[in-house]
Amino acid sequence: MDEDGYFGAAVANSYDRDHGGNDPALIDQTVACLKELAGTGSVLEFAVGTGRIALPLSAHCHCVKGIELSKAMVAELRKKETGAPMDIAIGDMTSTRLAGPFSLVFLVFNTIDNLVTQEAQIECFRNAARHLGLGGRFLVETRVPPLQRIPFGETKMAFACCDRHIGVDDYDISNQSYTSNHVWMADGGHEHVSIPFRYVWPSELDLMAKLAGLEFEHRWSDWNRAPFTHLSESHISVWKKTTC
């Protein structure tokens, strides 16, 4: 593993193609929702990655900044920029700071799970709160842990199977963690990648928000703001900073 962690050049170069979330309609819905939540204020994306959301959002908000651990991912973002370079800090979203304040901080595409301890996830919320002005919001998009789909006593769940990609998640339920295993096949060869994650429940996120001084405001099933129910496979949750 290089200095960019699990998201080095090999992953960054193919990230937009291989890792989903790039449907134009979905991006438009995401940007519209974030724009409304941000209002006229500045916006900060944690784990800005290749700019999948931050770049189109910057066309609608007057100031969008980012924090990203991987220099390789930021290099891909820079290739797509058409205007002034975005202000991006290289560092960990649990502690890295950028000048604010911001009306919206957001973390999307299940990336909260990349923080593999509860302590790190709590610090992510605290760092978001530090960046927010009074009345500002922190938004997290992530999946609901899919444990109901795993037969009792089993630990593995396949999530991808095609000619060029096989994916299997391996769950450690006793430690609230999982490893996402990928096999990519091309040109007669294959590459194996395993990445550790920590899954987190919506109620646990609400408690993390309270510890950071944020109050629950919204929870939806998708970017169209459909109600969150017991059948929802993912959620978009928003917390608001109500006190200094």
Residues of the chain with CATH 3.40.50.150: 9-145+200-241
Per-residue pLDDT reduced to its tens digit, 173-224: 999 999 999 888 887 788 888 899 999 999 999 999 999 999 999 999 999 9
Cβ burial of 165 (10 Å; 0-12, 13-18, 19+) is middle
CB 124 within 8 A of CB 178: no
| CATH architecture for segment(s) 9-145+200-241 | 3-Layer(aba) Sandwich (3.40)
The residue behind tokens 């959301």 is 53
Question: How high is the pLDDT of residue 20?
Answer: 62
Cα dist. 217→82, 93, 240 in Å? 35, 22, 6
Question: How high is the pLDDT of residue 22?
Answer: 78
Question: How high is the pLDDT of residue 134?
Answer: 97
3-state SS of 233-244 is CEEEEEEEECCC
Residues of the chain with CATH 2.20.25: 147-195
Q: Is the per-residue pLDDT at 19 higher than 80?
A: no
Q: Is the per-residue pLDDT at 163 higher than 90?
A: no
| CATH architecture for segment(s) 147-195 | Single Sheet (2.20)
Tokens for 5?
């962690």
